[in-house]
Amino acid sequence: MQNKVVIVTGGGRGIGAATARLFALKGYSVCINFKSDHDSANRLVEEIKRSGGDSIAVQADVSQENQVIELFQTVDTQLGAPTVLVNNAGILRAQMRLEEMDAQRINAILTNNVTSYFLCCREAVKRMSTRYGGKGGNIVNVSSGAARSGSPNEYVDYAASKGAIDTLTKGLSLEVANEGIRVNCVRPGLIYTDMHADGGEPERIERLKSAIPMKRGGQPEEVAEAIYWLASEKSSFSTGNFLDLAGGL
């Protein structure tokens, strides 16, 4: 039987870390990709290994083509070809209106949140697609409820980057539907992670939660469960689909 191998980009913290933990629990060999926070990624690898799992941490800036290629080559060598890719790594910048944004910021958002997903999808498809002799696989993209709300007065650039991920999911899912690969997407709402501090408002969920029908923010583990389901055989007839995890928002 083929070894179950997952790559979680941005897997050291937040939603990625919860996802890495869950896949390890389900018997996957887990590659935890990170950009700069060695400590969080290495701590998680140790935790997984202590529980009897198999995991490596691989540093790679997934917005950089050469580093994505090296990431996948490292996984090929150390864990085997990936059977699941979770495109999760993403960034957010300080809240502002669009007319205050410069090109450097907009490009950083787009390369980190969009180019990175395209590059990782490309490397995954080359390994998974039956077209190239692969045995199939699953890709789950982490988009955001922002793709639908547009995030006015906060970060329209971030929201637009997630809109691109929705379109990527739809297009790629159809491109590889007959090649053994399913491509699906989760769209989290307000989830308790460090990301809101990067947007300049660590307590953002407290300010906004009264507008959430369920009156609370979500936990990374609640997103991880949906990601796992979309990557599992339980969702075997689902591709090009979106699961909103936003407490009804």
Residues recognised as catalytic: 158
> Binding residue for ligand NAP (CB under 6 A) from 25, 43, 47, 61?
61
Q: Candidates 21-29, 47-55, 87-95, 127-135: pick the segment binding ligand NAP (CB under 6 A).
A: 87-95
> Binding residue for ligand NAP (CB under 6 A) from 5, 8, 14, 23?
14
Closer to ligand NAP at the Cβ: 181 or 195?
195
Answer yes or no whether residue 9 interacts with ligand NAP by CB under 6 A.
yes
- Helices within 30-97 (DSSP H only): 38-50, 65-78
**Residues comprising the chain, all counted:** 249
Answer yes or no whether residue 22 interacts with ligand NAP by CB under 6 A.
no
Q: Are 238 and 182 in contact (CB under 8 A)?
A: yes
Shortest Å, Cβ 163 to ligand NAP: 12
Answer yes or no whether residue 28 interacts with ligand NAP by CB under 6 A.
no
Task: Give SS3 for 207.
Answer: helix
Who's near 169: CB < 8 A, 6+ residues apart?
Answer: 141, 143, 183, 184, 185, 240, 242
Separation of alpha carbons 140 and 8, rounded Å: 10
Residue of 88, 85, 39, 36 whose CA lies nearest to 60: 36
Answer yes or no whether residue 91 interacts with ligand NAP by CB under 6 A.
yes
Going by the DSSP 8-state scheme, the letter that residue 4 receives in this structure is P
Answer yes or no whether residue 193 interacts with ligand NAP by CB under 6 A.
yes
Q: Which residues would be at the binding site for ligand NAP (CB under 6 A)?
A: 9-10, 12-16, 33-37, 40, 61-63, 88-91, 112, 116, 142, 144, 188, 190-191, 193-195
